[in-house]
Amino acid sequence: MEVAWDCKGPRRNKFVGPRASEDGAGRRHESVHRAPSPAGRPTNGTRSVQRRFATSRVYRQRHDYRRCAACADGSEIQMSRRLLSRSPLRHALPVGLALLLVPLWHAPRAPAATAPPSREQLGIFTTGRDAHVDAVLAGIHAGLRLAGLEPDMLEKTAAGDSDIARATVEEFAFEGTDVVFAIGADAAMLARDALRSRSVVFAGVGYPEAHGLPGRGNVCGVAGGVPPAEIVEWMRRVAPAAERLGTLGGDRDAFVLGEVARIASAEGIDVIAIARAADVAGADCDAVWLAPGVSDDAAAAIARALAGRHVALIGSRRGHLDAGCSVAIRTDPAEQGLHAAALAQRVLAGRSPQRIGVRRIHRRRLEINLDAARRLRHELPLPVLAAADHLAPALGRRR
């Protein structure tokens, strides 16, 4: 007689076919798969017998899965899981999977395809080219290289009247430049007035306050002029016995000339304002200071007029030293360019130019022309010679 059994679990075992009495195996099935109690649940004794016997090895070995209808519905899978859970391979399988997946997890992955980063757009605006402007530009390029920036540079020089210069500087707004370098006072004022939607960094400006710079929230820069108090101090070092100081400057040097006169007068020095270079020969001065607005040709004419008069001629630019001044006190224009590049980097990083403001260079260069001092009969103190950053010609050169 065919018998069907349900073997889904100890608590679900029940007799689903006629009782088997052919052999001991049938009786064992009969004893295990008892009919449920009238309440629908097996008695406590029946459950304990089912739980102990269903988990025994004898039950797994003697159970006839082919004769069990429930096993044909999926109980074989359950029984296979039970057998696997008690197999020695139950620990080796997870370890093997881990050894297989860990190298794949740590394998180098190809970088995701990304668009190349956009390069910064920087502009350079000048109103003329000379040695001073070229030195500032060299400092800007050197500073950008030190900062690791490789921007697209757009350089424009405005030559002509103010309308042409304004139209030239306005082209930076249409070109989409991020920061515009304005070299010189004229270029800085034009960029300030024409570029209101672009950040402007000026350099090569001696005294920005004399030109109303920065004047707007999108403008910042570097002040390259020597403070008036330091000018008077260096004059005392270079010419300790000087009691009368003559000053000469250009049209835009009124601010610094007035400050120098005020500070020198407060220290007991007589200040003589010289209007023209031709008036220097008739001025009774122990020392003469030339403001940055004095041209190189005018400085050369003044040096010729003062030859042999024991007068200390102090200049403000390298061109003054080459023209015949015995001493020049200035800031390095290349250093101004380096500072301007640093300010531009901060602007590109998101800093507001209004918060940056104007940065002043505190390092001064003391340059001495020994041949010019000999022609002027200007005896320089030894401490000044020792403190010089540049001697022209160099000491010890053969004649």
Give the CATH number, domain containing residue 297: 3.40.50.2300
Single pTM value for the model: 0.68
Q: Does one domain contain both 141 and 257?
A: no
Percent of the chain with pLDDT over 70: 70
In a domain, 369, yes or no: yes
Q: Does one domain contain both 193 and 240?
A: no
Stretch 86-108: mean pLDDT? 67
Q: Predicted confidence band at 97 (pLDDT cuts at 50, 70, 90)?
A: confident
Q: Predicted confidence band at 351 (pLDDT cuts at 50, 70, 90)?
A: very high
| Cα–Cα distance, 169 to 192 (Å, whole number) | 10
Angle CA 232–233–239, to nearest 5: 85
| Cα–Cα distance, 386 to 399 (Å, whole number) | 22
Q: Does one domain contain both 216 and 282?
A: no
Q: Does one domain contain both 233 and 219?
A: no
Bond from prior residue into 94 cis (ω within 30 degrees of 0): no
Q: Does one domain contain both 247 and 321?
A: yes
In a domain, 397, yes or no: no
Q: Which domain holds residue 269?
A: 228-330+364-392
In a domain, 245, yes or no: yes
Q: Does one domain contain both 372 and 256?
A: yes
Contact 70, 7 (CB under 8 A): yes
Q: Does one domain contain both 221 and 258?
A: no
Stretch 52-75: mean pLDDT? 51
Q: Which neighbouring-strand residues pair with 223?
A: 205, 360
Q: Predicted confidence band at 179 (pLDDT cuts at 50, 70, 90)?
A: very high
Over 80: is that where the pLDDT of 112 sits? no
Q: What pLDDT does 6 receive? A: 46
Predicted confidence (pLDDT) per residue in 193-239, tens digit: 999 889 999 999 999 999 999 988 999 999 999 999 999 999 999 99
Contact 219, 212 (CB under 8 A): no
Number of domain units in the chain: 3
Q: Does one domain contain both 191 and 125?
A: yes
Over 80: is that where the pLDDT of 363 sits? yes
Q: Does one domain contain both 235 and 214?
A: no
Task: Please name the amino acid found at residue 101.
Answer: L
For strands 270-273 and 199-205, give the pairing: unpaired
Q: Does one domain contain both 74 and 154?
A: no
In a domain, 114, yes or no: no
Predicted confidence (pLDDT) per residue in 231-257, tens digit: 999 999 999 999 999 999 998 899 999
Q: How many CA atoms lie within 13 A of 41 on its CB side?
A: 5
Q: Does one domain contain both 193 and 290?
A: no
Q: Does one domain contain both 11 and 77?
A: yes
